[in-house]
Structure 1
């Protein structure tokens, strides 16, 4: 794997989130048909994998970051006015496949570990309450559930932080999986207010996209891919993406 120098993550303003989303929309609007085809293929592949008996859910967790790497590659092509090809969606298996697969394994193992730990916290509190008495059982079960939710949310956010920039760091900086994951966490924590604003915006947009029978996801996925690419360039690259790419 080739290596490129990695600049230190920069701290950017939460207001940049709007610029990233605007850039994602601009990239989509410039070539909507290839993006719609890529987004439809992304959803179709994950859906078909998900219905595989017994192991479909696990393969979906494994495959999501791999296909995400393809979306990052498509966004990079769009930002540099290169032709968008559907095969690029599968670049996570075509280039640096071992590294992207390891990120997928981390996603699967992390999701399983977080779910197990949260369930263990809630079950332990409920069991302790049951041993003490009925009134204590209700109080501890409620408290245990709330604690489990807090633990699950905190660890899940940490997992998302690790996965957010990892595919781009592997693709564009030649990083190995573990450094890419830890660098992604560092960058997200350094830009925590910005990441929280972006997460809130994406949460709202996801619900809006789901209203028309989920068809809005065909637009939202390309917009998020473009926003992700713009965020990566803003925080990691030698120059901001938005002003440079606008002149291309």
Structure 2
């Protein structure tokens, strides 16, 4: 016998096809989310910066830990965005919500992100080192060309594969905490949605680069505002991209 109310079916990761201009609306919504409580958002961003700067000074382990923690901190920011969007009061502790719910799936995302970036680093290092070593071994103009070619190939591989990895991770924390998808399914759905709306996300990426340039001008203090706005824009893009129950 059916139990009532009947629970909603699990989200299957279906996504919409968006217009490129959607990116502008995501930033407008991100700003509106930030404007709900700027003080709390800035405090959370300060904590995030301190965490990543602290990890950056630890050789190798800190580099890997930063990727491992990113989905958990991203989930906290996204959950805070939802609270702001529905009119609930924000707390600085919301930043760590990912450590209190769906933690296993978020950690799985972190492990994937960490290992993927580590393997990419090793691959690029081998390509770069091989090209330079081959060029130096020839010790002539052709060798210089080989070395420069190796650097160019390594740079292209880094750009392409890192973009693919980011596409898989981009929406995954949101899909885990809001749609309760398993980590593997969330990665697949995120990648498919980004590929489906590649033009929209290229526009979003260009806008982000421009905003980062201006945020960096006042001694980087602009990132205290831009960080929460970007989090809000990711939340808005998730709501716009995915068909949820």
- TM-score normalized by structure 2? 0.90
1:14-39 deviations in whole A, cap 9, x for unaligned? 10000000000011112211211211
| Partner in structure 2 of residue 5 of structure 1 | 11
CA positional deviation for 1:156? 0.7
Which of 127, 140, 148 is the aligned partner of 1:121?
A: 127
Which of 178, 181, 185 is the aligned partner of 1:175?
A: 181
SS in 2 for 1:196: helix
Q: Is this contact kept in 1: 2:135–2:147, CA < 8 A?
A: yes
Distance 1:7 1:127, change over 3 A: closer
Which of 76, 83, 88 is the aligned partner of 2:82?
A: 76
| Partner in structure 1 of residue 44 of structure 2 | 38
1:130-177 deviations in whole A, cap 9, x for unaligned? 455522211111111111111000001111111110000000111111
Does residue 237 of the first structure (1) align with residue 243 of the second (2)?
yes
Q: Is this contact kept in 2: 1:46–1:64, CA < 8 A?
A: no
1:176-206 deviations in whole A, cap 9, x for unaligned? 1111111111110111011111111111211
Structure 2's unaligned 5+ residue stretches are 1-7
Which of 126, 149, 157 is the aligned partner of 1:151?
A: 157
- TM-score normalized by structure 1? 0.89
Higher mean alpha-carbon deviation, 211-220 vs 129-138, is at 129-138
1:38-89 deviations in whole A, cap 9, x for unaligned? 1122212222333346522221221122111111111111111111122211
Distance 1:18 1:55, change over 3 A: same
Q: How does 1:196-235 map to 2 (within 5 A)?
A: 196-235=202-241
Cα distance in 1 for residues equivalent to 2:41 and 2:208: 18
Cα distance in 2 for residues equivalent to 1:132 and 1:212: 47
Distance 1:71 1:3, change over 3 A: farther
Root mean square deviation of aligned Cα:
1.9
Q: Is this contact kept in 2: 1:3–1:175, CA < 8 A?
A: no
CA positional deviation for 1:129? 3.8
Cα distance in 2 for residues equivalent to 1:9 and 1:201: 22
Distance 1:132 1:44, change over 3 A: closer
Which of 81, 85, 95 is the aligned partner of 1:89?
A: 95
Cα distance in 2 for residues equivalent to 1:134 and 1:70: 55
Cα distance in 1 for residues equivalent to 2:78 and 2:234: 7
Q: Is this contact kept in 2: 1:6–1:236, CA < 8 A?
A: no
Cα distance in 2 for residues equivalent to 1:122 and 1:46: 27
CA positional deviation for 1:236? 0.4
Which of 116, 125, 147 is the aligned partner of 1:110?
A: 116
Structure 1's unaligned 5+ residue stretches are 240-248
Where do 4+ consecutive residues of structure 1 move more than 4 Å? Answer: 130-133
